[in-house]
Structure 1
Amino acid sequence: MRIIDLSTPIDAAGWEPEPVEHRIMSAAEGAKHMSEEMLEHFGLEFDPSVLPDGELLTIDTLTLTTHTGTHVDAPSHYGSAARYGDGRPRHIDELPLEWFHGPGVVLDLSTAAPGAVDAAHLRRELDRIGHALAPGDIVLLRTGASRLAGTPEYFSRFTGLDGSAVHFLLDQGVRVIGTDAFSLDAPFRIMIEGYRETGERSLLWPAHFAGREREYCQIERLAHLEDLPAPTGFTVSCFPVKITGAGAGWTRAVAVLPA
């Protein structure tokens, strides 16, 4: 098989609205740290100087949100109450793993202007590639925004989905929708300016708020969708990190193709 990485890195050197802090403890510092930890928690005395070069292991500590890098949004991210089931949206650790491994479908939105496309746009793209969506398909939106990752423009120049587009995909049995952009919704400025001009609240975060009505997940901040040789014929694996009670979890999303 051939595996294509669809994930963006978590990089403290890249620009983020909420900066990433990455602290690295050297192997020598790690030896001293582990010695202190073993004594405090297990009552074990250990002299790190007996180790080769006085070194043990490095330790990385990161401070970041679960929405940094490629990640999966859980239903609980969209709001505190749902209008389906028992009214309690599930967290990332509660979702079935089967949702995150399935046939992939890439829809090309790269020629669309910044903002949001509707269901009719998606239907035309599906007609163009000759694919009928099926339950369990994982739909990935190639907007081209990933080329801006690590810059401020990544958070303001991309194409998302409006409410009709999200509901159209969910009507076909899709449970997971991914994008190479910062968000599945339109950029902040476009949504807010549209609301100010029209007073129409449905223009504000319609893709996310659709998750209050129907249970589904988003993968945001994908990459390398342009490296896929065809819009179908591959499997997506995007299992989220199991964080108890969290509204999102990081994922190393990949596409698996036959050799």
Structure 2
Amino acid sequence: MRIIDLSSPVDASFWEPDEVVHRVLDAHQAAVHVRDEMKEHFGLELDPEVFPDGAFLTNDYLTLTAHTGTHVDAPAHYGPAEGAHTPRTIDQMPLDWFMRPGMVLDLRDVGTGTAGVAELEREFDRVGRRPRPMDVVLLHTGADRHLGKPEYFTEFTGLDGPATRLLLELGVRVIGTDAFSLDAPFTHIIREFHRTGDKGVLWPAHFAGRREEYCQLERLANLQDLPVSTGFTVSCLPVKIAGAGAGWSRVVALLDE
């Protein structure tokens, strides 16, 4: 089996709207830390010098959002549901959504803004079929070339409302993108709203999830490394964060050699 990494890293050196803080506790610092922890919580004495070279086990402390790096958005992220159901959080989602056949659609020629039904239909024709129910559809926009830079958040292709609804009508429950968001950039959305006065341009891909439950898989990478448009499995199991609207994921494509 060939495994292709489709994940972008959590990297504190990247430019992010919400700063990522990564603090490393080295092995010698950790020896002192465990001494203090044992005394405070358990009343036990432990001399750091008992460890080889006075070194214990390193640790990493991170401050970040659940939407940093490659992650899965749960329905709870999209806001209040339209109907009687309560939107599920990431720990409540069925795991079998996240290990499914994949299909990648090439939207690199669309540019900053939104792709619509016409662009999806063009790609279905190129691939030779439409997505099947429960397929994981991945949108290759090329946005990951800006990873770590401010442009990553302002220059990419999202989906408009009709395109999102088409995929949901076909039975897709996980839609992925190598961009920051499945919607168009915030800057593009706000300019379009002021230009048109149309509230339908305000985050239509996310708000579609208020009507019909689905997950977004955002901030992918390396979709150009997929040698085929179909015929592979996507594994995108999210981290189980209780009550959260999203969870990080190490996304990979699995291909039979």
Unaligned runs of 5+ in 2: none
Q: Secondary structure at the match of 2:207?
A: helix
Q: Secondary structure at the match of 2:81?
A: coil
Alignment map for 1:134-153 (pairs within 5 Å)? 134-153=132-151
Q: Which moved more, 1:155-164 or 1:131-140?
A: 131-140
Alignment map for 1:220-235 (pairs within 5 Å)? 220-235=218-233
* 2:206 matches 1:208: yes
- Give CA-to-partner distance per residue, 1:212-251, whole Å, 9 cap, x none: 1110000110000000001111100001110011000100
Q: Which residue of 2 aligns with 1:120?
A: 118
Q: Which residue of 2 aligns with 1:75?
A: 75
Rounded Cα–Cα distance in structure 2 between residues aligned with 1:103 and 1:87: 28
Q: Which residue of 2 aligns with 1:7?
A: 7
- Give CA-to-partner distance per residue, 1:8-37, whole Å, 9 cap, x none: 000001111111000001101111111211
Calculate the TM-score normalised by the size of structure 1. 0.97
State the Cα RMSD in Å. Answer: 0.9
Alignment map for 1:235-246 (pairs within 5 Å)? 235-246=233-244
- Deviating beyond 4 angstroms after TM superposition, the runs of 4 or more aligned structure 1 residues are none
Rounded Cα–Cα distance in structure 2 between residues aligned with 1:149 and 1:175: 26
Aligned partner of 1:66: which letter?
Answer: A
Aligned-pair CA distance for 1:50: 1.1
Alignment map for 1:188-199 (pairs within 5 Å)? 188-199=186-197
Rounded Cα–Cα distance in structure 1 between residues aligned with 2:111 and 2:14: 25
- Give CA-to-partner distance per residue, 1:201-221, whole Å, 9 cap, x none: 000100001011110000110
Aligned-pair CA distance for 1:177: 0.3
Calculate the TM-score normalised by the size of structure 2. 0.98
Q: Which residue of 2 aligns with 1:56?
A: 56
Q: Secondary structure at the match of 2:118?
A: helix
Rounded Cα–Cα distance in structure 2 between residues aligned with 1:101 and 1:108: 21
- Equivalent of residue 180 in structure 1, options 178, 181, 199: 178
Rounded Cα–Cα distance in structure 2 between residues aligned with 1:143 and 1:247: 24
Rounded Cα–Cα distance in structure 2 between residues aligned with 1:230 and 1:194: 35
Unaligned runs of 5+ in 1: none
